[in-house]
Amino acid sequence: MIAGFLLLALTLQVRGILDGEYLFCRTERGYHLSLEEYRQDTCARCYHYLPPFAFHDPESRLKYDESTGLLVEPLSNTSFEADPENATHPAYGTFQSDLFARKWIACCRAALDCCKDMLTHHYDDFRGNNGSALQCPRTWDGWQCWPDTPAGETAEGLCREHVYFMSDPPPCPKYASKQCLENGTWYVNEWNSEWTNYSSCSRIQGMRRLQYFHIITYAVSMLFLIPSLFIFVVYK
Ligand SMILES: *[C@@H]1O[C@H](CO)[C@@H](O)[C@H](O)[C@H]1NC(C)=O
Ligand SMILES: *[C@@H]1O[C@H](CO)[C@@H](O)[C@H](O)[C@H]1NC(C)=O
Ligand SMILES: *[C@@H]1O[C@H](CO)[C@@H](O)[C@H](O)[C@H]1NC(C)=O
Ligand SMILES: *[C@@H]1O[C@H](CO)[C@@H](O)[C@H](O)[C@H]1NC(C)=O
Ligand SMILES: *[C@@H]1O[C@H](CO)[C@@H](O)[C@H](O)[C@H]1NC(C)=O
């Protein structure tokens, strides 16, 4: 009888572990965290990933403590949960301008939405096509959210506004891409970190095209200017 209960309890426990992925949200380090741990850690990392020019003084910039997922004030060595909803949070004193505070808030909110998505969406089954169900797991990459993706495919996601540090978002939508390898793991870079390609989110390409346009226009107008100068000098 007691053994029966124990067995039942054990079975439920094991099922709980097997179902575990449904209760946790994945981050770019491959950890599955509970909603509360995830919320703090991803938000602290949103702060950590901001570029140096987002802060008015590198000395006072809060440090991210990887082992606790907290932000640490370097001068007083006190730790804080990353919480953008708290208007008196010390992080707000460190930004160069409101713009970066807004980027931080947007990133933390996007992370939270991502976790809620991960918890509520049904798992897609890609087995239909090819007998193999290998897939990369839905995840937060530090900036954006990615769904389950079949092995060997590259997922595309709309570049979110908070990834534009240098400029306003471009008028037409751009897409970041994340490669799911043949063995069902996300592409990792040379530092062994999962990596998303944000290069097409940048406006540099567009700007370069604009520069070429200007150079060509100048060249054409010079071409017409030289004969007219010649005519002017010769026939004046
Ligand atoms: C900061 O505080 C933590 C614990 O609160 C301690 O382990 C650490 O050594 C301290 N660091 C410095 C530089 O004082
Ligand atoms: C807001 O942050 C400050 C400093 O971190 C903390 O002392 C305070 O308790 C926080 N307030 C709330 C409502 O969490
Ligand atoms: C199935 O997999 C094979 C090789 O692994 C590939 O050549 C083929 O295109 C795949 N078919 C579909 C429908 O994905
Ligand atoms: C998946 O493939 C990549 C590249 O081929 C390799 O670096 C990685 O170690 C593989 N991962 C696993 C779990 O096999
Ligand atoms: C990133 O994406 C861009 C544009 O899609 C591409 O040209 C570039 O090769 C990609 N970089 C890597 C390292 O995959």
Instruction: Tell me what pLDDT residue 82 has.
Output: 96
Residue 76 CB coordination number (10 Å): 8
For residues 49 and 43, the answer to whether their CB atoms sit within 8 Å is no
Smallest CA separation from ligand 5 atom 14, residue: 197
Q: Is the CB of 129 under 6 A from ligand 3?
A: yes
Smallest CA separation from ligand 4 atom 1, residue: 183
Q: Is the pLDDT of residue 170 over 90?
A: no
Overall pTM > 0.85:
no
Give me ligand 2 centre to Cα 141, in Å: 27
| Residue 3 banded pLDDT, cuts 50, 70, 90 | low
**Strand pairing partners for 171?**
none
Smallest CA separation from ligand 5 atom 11, residue: 197
User: How far apart are alpha carbons 81 and 89 in whole angstroms?
Assistant: 9
pLDDT, mean over the chain: 82
192: left (phi over 0), alpha (psi -120 to 50) or beta: left
The vertex-76 CA angle with 70 and 78, nearest 5°, equals 25
User: How far apart are alpha carbons 103 and 164 in whole angstroms?
Assistant: 9
- Digit-coded pLDDT (tens) for 52-72: 999 999 888 999 999 999 999
Give the percent of the chain with pLDDT over 70. Answer: 72
* Average pLDDT estimate for 176-186: 95
Which DSSP letter does residue 92 get?
A: G
For residues 86 and 103, the answer to whether their CB atoms sit within 8 Å is no
User: How far apart are alpha carbons 143 and 159 in whole angstroms?
Assistant: 9
